[in-house]
Structure 1
Amino acid sequence: MSQIVPLGKIATLLAMLGDKERSPFESMFGEVTFCQGKVGSMNMQKVISAVETAVKRNQLIKEDVYRETHALYHAILEALEGVTRGQLAIGEMMRTVGLRFAVVRGKPYDQEKEGEWIAVAFYGTIGAPVKGLEHEALGLGVNHI
């Protein structure tokens, strides 16, 4: 039976924890690569672009390999569905988000033929564009590359 490296768990922890808070968990990260960032917006495309930009700057995907960009895009959308409760809209519904995100890439299975996977996690707030009226939200997307 294969040992699973919990990419989604790692991404969720990284999205939720600040730099100082994450040090006790770093031993579980193993041989994954990751990046983190923050985004706040009423525009869904800005949220997607912030994640894509961070991933490309940190060279987690190869920009010239379509399947890698495609896998990232689907993981982002899946994670956003969690944040938006299945309604992929923010500004159009008079909602705003303030999110921390993490993207983790790795080989979660012992068998090499299972390949690489990518996980995207968001943690933060969503709500009316009035300070103090938002609530916590969490989303996770995992996709094979």
Structure 2
Amino acid sequence: MSLANEKLLGKIAMLSCLDDSYVQKIEDLGWRFCKGKVGSMESNKVVAAIETAAKKEGVINGSIYRETHALYHAIMEAIYGVTRGHVQLGTVLRTVGLRFIVVRGNPYDQAEEGDWIAVALYGTIGAPVKGLEHEAVGLGINHI
């Protein structure tokens, strides 16, 4: 079992979140993905937007618990990165404006390893006053 260098799920997800031209690599690998944007002062709305997009676009099957659970953990890990480990937004007067991508695929040489899911976030976080934010990134990866 080893990761295939040309199939690094997290790297491909983050690059695709930052630059749309990398999405072609996801398509070439035959992986499933969805992209979107979310802005909120509430972390639950960020989670809901990403989960809804992934279910709607068929990246995960929402009726299978392990798929929803894997996605949830990947989202939370990515949010921890954006919020520097404190998943608090509005309660401490912070807001986010994020681009996201959810990518599902097998990053290993062997098909038997199964699918993994990556959530990449890029955008801004800061006080809810235009111009008082800064850039932030987050990446979460989980097995399905």
Asked whether the two chains share a fold, i.e. TM above 0.5, the reply is yes
Residue 27 to residue 46, structure 1, CA distance change in 2 (3 Å): closer
Q: For structure 1, which runs of at least 5 residues remain unmatched after alignment?
A: none
Letter in 2 for 1:10: I
Could you tell me how far apart the structure 1 residues matched to 2:62 and 2:23 are? 28
Q: What are the residue-to-residue correspondences of 1:90-109 with 2, within 5 Å?
A: 90-109=89-108
Could you tell me how far apart the structure 1 residues matched to 2:33 and 2:9 are? 10
Could you tell me how far apart the structure 2 residues matched to 1:56 and 1:62 are? 6
Q: What are the residue-to-residue correspondences of 1:20-31 with 2, within 5 Å?
A: 22-23=20-21, 25-29=22-26, 30-31=29-30
Match of 2:38, SS?
A: strand
Q: Which residue of 1 aligns with 2:9?
A: 7
Q: Which residue of 2 aligns with 1:16?
A: 18
Letter in 1 for 2:36: G
Letter in 1 for 2:86: Q
Q: Which residue of 2 aligns with 1:130?
A: 129
State, as a whole percentage, how many aligned pairs show the same letter.
62
Q: Which residue of 1 aligns with 2:36?
A: 37
Residue 74 to residue 130, structure 1, CA distance change in 2 (3 Å): same
Q: Which residue of 2 aligns with 1:54?
A: 53
Residue 112 to residue 86, structure 1, CA distance change in 2 (3 Å): same
Q: 4+ runs of 1 displaced by more than 2 Å?
A: 25-29
After TM superposition, the score normalised by the length of structure 2 is 0.92
* RMSD (Å), alpha carbons: 1.3
Could you tell me how far apart the structure 1 residues matched to 2:55 and 2:23 are? 23
Match of 1:104, SS?
A: strand
Letter in 1 for 2:12: I
Name which of structure 1's ranges 72-81 and 28-37 shifts more when overlaid on structure 2.
28-37
Could you tell me how far apart the structure 1 residues matched to 2:46 and 2:55 are? 15
Please report how far the alpha carbon of residue 10 of structure 1 lies from its aligned counterpart in structure 2 after TM superposition: 1.6
Residue 131 to residue 50, structure 1, CA distance change in 2 (3 Å): same
Letter in 2 for 1:28: K
| Conservation of the 8 A alpha-carbon contact between 1:14 and 1:101 | no
CA deviations 1:52-108 (Å, max 9, x no partner) are 110011011111110000000000000000000000111111000000000000011
Aligned residues, how many? Answer: 140
